[in-house]
Amino acid sequence: MAERPGRRRIDAERNRSRILAAAGALFRDDEAATMPAIAQRAQLSVATAYRFFPSLSELRAEYLRLVIAELADYSARSTATGADLFADVLGEWLRLQSSYGDALIHLRSREGYLTRLRSGDPVITTVRSAWEQPISHLLHDLGLDSLDIEDALYLHNILFDPRELRDLRVQRGWSDATIAARVTRSYRALLRSWAQPTDDDAPEAATPSSATPPR
């Protein structure tokens, strides 16, 4: 008897979940985990793993997106407002980093943040859904509603990168509370600075097309 399509779909979803769970378990301790090691952990063949994720980078990106989706769900459910909402979501972000370890290190890529955001990169799109509301609330509290949200997200990406926050935790021995307080203070200052007009923002003065020679 031929296998029913519904059963095949259930098996496929189960295998995909097993691959992602195995990847997460290995990435927590070893960001260089290989596809064969992940397949072995999932108790599936390497060919099956590659059928779901044609490359390790695609598997890593999807796992990362799912973790950040947890943050986006937390952000949407939070009842905090204003700067407290930003602090609440940041606390959850630091908790996730402690929980998932090196699995979050690959948030960066060779392409710039704004390029990935505007191209619809699924990871960065999920990052935006997690942080847009908390950052908007923070901007309102700072009186910076006119600041472009993409600028604020760009600056957030620079300061709150998981690799750099891990460095503060491991190399400086800072607690999550210290990291949150100090980096948030820097972020507030950077937002205020970014919102200030500079000489480069002024339109260039028109230059005469020709000069009248002296008589």
- Mean pLDDT: which of 53-62, 180-189, 191-200 is highest? 180-189
Instruction: Specify the pLDDT at position 12.
Output: 87
For residue range 160-193, what is the model confidence (pLDDT) as tens digits?
988 899 899 999 999 999 999 999 999 999 999 9
Cβ-contact 36, 60 below 8 angstroms = no
**How distant is the alpha carbon of residue 207 from its chain centre?**
45
84: helix, coil or strand?
helix
Q: Hey, which CATH number is domain 10-54, 3.30.70.260, 3.40.1350.10, 1.10.10.60, 1.10.357.10?
A: 1.10.10.60
Domain boundaries in the chain?
A: 10-54, 63-196
Q: What single-letter amino acid sits at 184? A: T
Q: Say if residue 99's pLDDT is above 90.
A: no
Contacts 24+ apart (CB under 8 A), 148-151: 150/114, 150/117, 151/194
Task: Please give the angle made by the CA atoms of 97, 184 and 106, to the nearest 5 degrees.
Answer: 30
Q: What single-letter amino acid sits at 103? A: A
